[in-house]
A and B are shown apart, each in its own frame.
Chain A
Amino acid sequence: MAEPLRDEIPPGTLHLFILKILARGPNHGYGIAQFVESSSRDVFQVEEGSLYPALQRMMLKGWIRGEWQETENKRRARVYSLTTLGKKQLEVELSKYRRVSQAIGRVIAASS
């Protein structure tokens, strides 16, 4: 199996992506992957082998909930949405991300 750009998504960021995307509204797995790719202008490619286990892990944690629904193309798909717990988790992940990226920025600025 090829491993395209898997390492390009920084570790732990996939959860943040999924949470943030679902905060806009419910979406299915394919939709999430598409959104990440298009909004990152194809820099990130979400590997399905990481996406689905991640979704399961988040369901186990109770952050998201999956329901079978009809898509606009009359196709059955599992659509994920955020739970209250998930919204809280998004805040946690976001503030963590901001803290880390600011810190990285400071380190780089100080050493240049």
Chain B
Amino acid sequence: MPRFVLELIRRLRFFLRGHRFEAELREEMDAHFTMLAEDTDPVYAKRRLGNVTRWQEISREVWVWNWMDRFWQDLRYGIRQLTLSPVFALVAILSLALGIGANTAIFQLLDAVRLRSLPVPDPQQLAEVRIANGNGGIFVSAGDNPQTTNPLWEQFREHQQAFLGVFAWGTDTFRLGKGIDAHNVHGLWASGSLFPVLGISPVRGRLLDIRDDRHGCGASAAVISYGLWQREFGGLDSVIGSSLRIQDHSFDVIGVTPPGFSGLEVGTGFDVALPICSLATLQSSNASFGRRDIWWLTVMGRLKPGWTLERASAHLNATSPGLFGATIPTGYQASTLERYRKFRLAAYPAGRGVSPLRETFDTSLWLLLGITGLVLLIACANLANLILARASTRQHEISVRLALGASRPRLIQQLLSESLLLALVGTLLGIYLARVLSRAIIWFVSTKDNVLQLELGLNWRVLLFTASVAVLTCVIFGLMPALRSSRAEPSSAMKAGSRGMTAGRERFSFQRLLVASQIAISLLLLFNALLFVRSFRKLMTFNPGFREQGILLLETDIRNFAMSSHMSPSRLKPLQRDLLDEIRAMPQVQSAAMSTHVPLNGSSWTLGFYLDDVRGSSKFTWASTQYFETMEIPILSGRDFNDRDSESSPRVALVNETFVRDYCGGTNPIGKVIRSVAEPHYPAAAYEIIGVVRDTKYANLREAIPPQVFANTQQFPSDGPWGPIFIRTSAPMSSMISAVKQKVGQAHPAMQMDFRVFQAQIYDRLVLERLMAALSGFFGALATVLAIVGLYGVISYIVIRRSTEIGIRAALGANWGQILRMVMSEAGLLLLIGVVIGAVLSLVAGRAANSLLFGLKSYDPLTLGMAVGLVAAIGAVASFVPARRASRVDPMVALRYE
């Protein structure tokens, strides 16, 4: 160990047993004295030893750093000063804690979503393999982050050379258990190599390996997460070897993953992992397992030593033609397949996992971090102002001390120690607040279907961030006032303190600057908040073309139900019809319909078609009779589906206005025939257009309305279709749910049912917008309150400092209106400067929010006007109060004041 470390350890040891040190030294002196007295005589000994206390002090100083001792002294002084003005201390600590807590909370989220590495050995070696520039949306994509098909993955696995090991995974929802206990859990399809390549060891049993992932493995092995093990198996060892029922197949639990591992997708987590080979058994013949056109897997690998991402990408680029050439899907057009052949794989960093969250939350979280940073800045400015005001009342004391020869650095150190104390307490409280706040935010953005699972630890990155924020705040609100107030010339300050008529203008200029910038920043934040609130309101009140209120969605497992009861496929459509009829017969139900597409839930179904030799593509939805009635979508011309449209009658369809505009040149389309292009599993079919419906929003509110074709469920050209039942009712949703449960449960006891309230589902998808509106609104309000407190404080302070001058003016005949005007014009100037700068800032900085806004632009003049009006109005009120007080000053009192 280096010498200074040993020395430090000795110093620390001394620090810990300081009280014994004194006693030992005293005893040593006594022994010395006794021996000396015995050898000579007591009188001589006493004279010679002299001032024993002084030696003890010198001996002690050997061990203690001087600055440390002085620091303690200053700290004690600081505590004494703060306890003398508890209100100031409380305001300071609370506003710091709020500011630092908010910053830490947002940073914690940012860290969890964006910065943290996966909890596996050497995460930086991990790379994701996907098609450069994406697959362009061709074929069918499943899940949030799909990159390859299973055949492509198998080809890649056999032919790659860039990686030590590769693995693939896909996410899914598994139905766990049977009967009424059945519930959905997060599923993970894992290749056998996933756990070995990641290097994860089980806490119980063993994890999946390549032996478990062979073609034809059937339903065999399952691995469960630590969370599920604790939740549903009570953390018992007996879980290993027990059987797990998933979608009516029985799996053996072979192991439990460690608690830190929650899958590779940030924020989602997983409950059960199955080998990919089991998919063939779990899904019907239509399974994505062998399909070359369903993108549902994400492929990752661990790079070989010495291989960079660039080198791996070059290798992948070279091998891509062979891989794609060997996995060409059948049944597609030549032009589509030509695009497929041209795909090239590339490697991307994946040490932090993949995250659809990252894309959606990224901008929002950085923006929020910016907002909370500005709030903290305003809080700091307020504190600086408060401290300056306090320091100026101590100006006399400081001048005296300077005059007596106190060094400036020593004074600054002392003034700073008080700020340091505030920052320290504020930071500790802030860390606590951050825990509460970040959990609240997660709770806020978690919906019924998507509970966000994020590890929110206080890791070194978060602590480092908070510490630097704290130091920065301390410097901003502590150092500047300390520097300023210690600069006073002893003579002039003492004079001003004793006999000041008007405090010089420049004495307040720093405070004015602070207040003007506070107003500017608070205007910016308020503007921002109003933007988000208005954008959210627009989303909430936006008319999507249908009426989402009063609709209950019923999802059944009719597909599995039909399969497990070995129904012939031809029985399915009648069964669906019966189910609909049963529901329609209920007295509370106004209408009910089935559809393959739930609007605004993000999903999409596109088919290519020919219309009079014009090639086009459109969204296709299969809907039953009463669909337009249930959704309250008006039919503009032609007719609705009716019961005469059956499997045997000619296929019919309705189209939306956009379709008519895009493909029929605005002419009447009724009677024209849409011929859909064949895709595997969906044979070509011809649909006669029988009506036009009003445009409605499709997958999400932000998109432009696409052309849409509505065909009849009874005329679906293949197996199926599958989709939820839309029930329109005016009854309360909870009673409706139990009524449907009872009715359908009687007719089909084995059928599983899931209910969703359509409107709630749409709102759940607006969670990010709601979060931004709520948080930016909260912070905007907080910023405004802080800035107004600052303005009020400074105006009051100026009024008090100038009370002598005001008294003289009043004595000389100024009426109260003139004095009011004088003070108000001073405040007005500050407000004006602040508002002008703030407006410019708002227009410049607002652009960061542009991509998150709906229905208005970041330079929205109305919103800016509202923000300016609000700040100006509140500011005027806040300065009117002290101005009025000034105008009521009794000249006699003011003049006698000093």
Chain A complexes with chain B: yes
The CA of A34 and the CA of B31, in the complex, are separated in Å by 14
Residues on the A chain within 8 Å of B39, using CB = 34
Asked if A30 and B54 make an inter-chain contact with CB atoms under 8 angstroms apart, the answer reads no
Contact A57/B62 with A75-B34, A75-B35 known, Cβ cut-off 8 Å: yes
Asked if B62 and A28 make an inter-chain contact with CB atoms under 8 angstroms apart, the answer reads no
Complex partner residue of A1 from B31, B35, B51, CB under 8 angstroms: B51
Q: Kindly state whether residue A36 has any CB partner on chain B within 8 Å.
A: no
- Number of contacts between A and B (CB, 8 Å)? 65
Complex partner residue of B59 from A28, A52, A61, CB under 8 angstroms: A52
In chain A, positions 53-112 with a C-beta closer than 8 Å to chain B are 53, 56-57, 59-62, 68, 75-78
Asked if A28 and B31 make an inter-chain contact with CB atoms under 8 angstroms apart, the answer reads yes
Contact A61/B7 with A1-B50, A1-B51 known, Cβ cut-off 8 Å: yes
Asked if A53 and B31 make an inter-chain contact with CB atoms under 8 angstroms apart, the answer reads no
Binds A, one of B21-29, B226-234, B237-245, B392-400: B21-29
Chain B proximity of A57: nearest CB distance (Å): 5
Complex partner residue of A52 from B28, B50, B51, CB under 8 angstroms: B28
Q: Kindly state whether residue A48 has any CB partner on chain B within 8 Å.
A: yes
Chain A proximity of B313: nearest CB distance (Å): 57
Complex partner residue of A56 from B31, B50, B51, B62, CB under 8 angstroms: B62
Residues on the B chain within 8 Å of A26, using CB = none
Complex partner residue of A2 from B24, B28, B36, B50, CB under 8 angstroms: B50
Asked if B11 and A60 make an inter-chain contact with CB atoms under 8 angstroms apart, the answer reads yes
Asked if B32 and A29 make an inter-chain contact with CB atoms under 8 angstroms apart, the answer reads yes
Q: Kindly state whether residue B58 has any CB partner on chain A within 8 Å.
A: yes
Q: Kindly state whether residue B6 has any CB partner on chain A within 8 Å.
A: yes
In chain B, positions 12-65 with a C-beta closer than 8 Å to chain A are 14, 24-25, 27-29, 31-32, 34-36, 39, 47-51, 54-55, 58-59, 61-63
Asked if A30 and B31 make an inter-chain contact with CB atoms under 8 angstroms apart, the answer reads yes
Asked if B32 and A60 make an inter-chain contact with CB atoms under 8 angstroms apart, the answer reads no
Q: Kindly state whether residue B484 has any CB partner on chain A within 8 Å.
A: no
Complex partner residue of A49 from B3, B27, B47, B58, CB under 8 angstroms: B58
Asked if A49 and B54 make an inter-chain contact with CB atoms under 8 angstroms apart, the answer reads yes
Looking across the interface, which residue of chain A has its beta carbon closest to that of B28?
A78
Asked if A49 and B50 make an inter-chain contact with CB atoms under 8 angstroms apart, the answer reads yes
The CA of A13 and the CA of B7, in the complex, are separated in Å by 22
The CA of A97 and the CA of B605, in the complex, are separated in Å by 94
Asked if A53 and B58 make an inter-chain contact with CB atoms under 8 angstroms apart, the answer reads yes
Asked if B55 and A52 make an inter-chain contact with CB atoms under 8 angstroms apart, the answer reads yes
Residues on the B chain within 8 Å of A61, using CB = 7
Contact A52/B7 with A1-B51, A30-B36 known, Cβ cut-off 8 Å: no
Asked if B6 and A62 make an inter-chain contact with CB atoms under 8 angstroms apart, the answer reads yes
Looking across the interface, which residue of chain A has its beta carbon closest to that of B25?
A52
Residues on the B chain within 8 Å of A2, using CB = 47, 50
Asked if A49 and B55 make an inter-chain contact with CB atoms under 8 angstroms apart, the answer reads yes
Chain B proximity of A26: nearest CB distance (Å): 15
Residues on the A chain within 8 Å of B50, using CB = 1-2, 48-49
Asked if B59 and A53 make an inter-chain contact with CB atoms under 8 angstroms apart, the answer reads yes
The CA of A1 and the CA of B11, in the complex, are separated in Å by 30
Q: Kindly state whether residue B10 has any CB partner on chain A within 8 Å.
A: yes
Contact A29/B28 with A48-B55, A60-B11, A62-B7 known, Cβ cut-off 8 Å: yes
Asked if A75 and B10 make an inter-chain contact with CB atoms under 8 angstroms apart, the answer reads no
| Chain A interface main SS type | helix
Complex partner residue of A77 from B3, B25, B28, B58, CB under 8 angstroms: B28
Complex partner residue of A60 from B31, B54, B55, B63, CB under 8 angstroms: B63
The CA of A28 and the CA of B31, in the complex, are separated in Å by 10
Contact A48/B63 with A30-B31, A30-B35, A75-B31 known, Cβ cut-off 8 Å: no
The CA of A49 and the CA of B49, in the complex, are separated in Å by 8
Asked if A77 and B7 make an inter-chain contact with CB atoms under 8 angstroms apart, the answer reads no
Chain B proximity of A76: nearest CB distance (Å): 7
Chain B proximity of A46: nearest CB distance (Å): 11
The CA of A61 and the CA of B6, in the complex, are separated in Å by 9
Looking across the interface, which residue of chain A has its beta carbon closest to that of B7?
A60
The CA of A68 and the CA of B24, in the complex, are separated in Å by 9
Asked if B34 and A60 make an inter-chain contact with CB atoms under 8 angstroms apart, the answer reads no
Contact A60/B35 with A1-B50, A29-B28 known, Cβ cut-off 8 Å: no
Residues on the A chain within 8 Å of B49, using CB = 48
Looking across the interface, which residue of chain A has its beta carbon closest to that of B31?
A77
Chain B proximity of A89: nearest CB distance (Å): 11
The CA of A75 and the CA of B27, in the complex, are separated in Å by 11
The CA of A58 and the CA of B63, in the complex, are separated in Å by 11
Complex partner residue of B48 from A34, A48, A60, CB under 8 angstroms: A48
Complex partner residue of B63 from A49, A56, A76, CB under 8 angstroms: A56
Residues on the A chain within 8 Å of B35, using CB = 30, 75, 77
The CA of A28 and the CA of B36, in the complex, are separated in Å by 13
Chain B proximity of A11: nearest CB distance (Å): 16
Asked if A78 and B24 make an inter-chain contact with CB atoms under 8 angstroms apart, the answer reads yes
Residues on the B chain within 8 Å of A77, using CB = 28, 31, 35
Residues on the B chain within 8 Å of A68, using CB = 24
Asked if A62 and B10 make an inter-chain contact with CB atoms under 8 angstroms apart, the answer reads yes
Chain B proximity of A60: nearest CB distance (Å): 6
The CA of A75 and the CA of B34, in the complex, are separated in Å by 10
The proximity string for B residues 60-97 relative to A, scoring 1 for CB distances below 8 Å and 0 otherwise, is: 01110000000000000000000000000000000000
Residues on the B chain within 8 Å of A56, using CB = 59, 62-63
Residues on the A chain within 8 Å of B61, using CB = 53
The CA of A62 and the CA of B10, in the complex, are separated in Å by 8
Residues on the A chain within 8 Å of B59, using CB = 52-53, 56
Residues on the B chain within 8 Å of A57, using CB = 62
Contact A53/B62 with A30-B35, A60-B10 known, Cβ cut-off 8 Å: yes
The CA of A71 and the CA of B11, in the complex, are separated in Å by 28
The CA of A62 and the CA of B6, in the complex, are separated in Å by 8
The CA of A10 and the CA of B654, in the complex, are separated in Å by 110
The CA of A52 and the CA of B3, in the complex, are separated in Å by 23
Residues on the A chain within 8 Å of B6, using CB = 62
Chain B proximity of A75: nearest CB distance (Å): 6
Looking across the interface, which residue of chain A has its beta carbon closest to that of B57?
A53
Given contacts A34-B39, A53-B59, 20 further A-B contacts (CB under 8 A): A1-B54, A2-B47, A28-B31, A33-B32, A48-B29, A48-B49, A49-B50, A49-B54, A49-B55, A52-B28, A56-B59, A60-B10, A60-B14, A60-B62, A61-B7, A62-B3, A62-B6, A68-B24, A78-B28, A78-B31
Q: Could you name 8 residue pairs across A and B whose Cβ atoms are closer than 8 Å? A: A2-B50, A28-B31, A52-B58, A60-B7, A75-B31, A76-B27, A77-B35, A78-B27
Point out residues on B near A: beta carbons under 8 Å. 3, 6-7, 10-11, 14, 24-25, 27-29, 31-32, 34-36, 39, 47-51, 54-55, 58-59, 61-63
Point out residues on A near B: beta carbons under 8 Å. 1-2, 28-30, 33-34, 48-49, 52-53, 56-57, 59-62, 68, 75-78
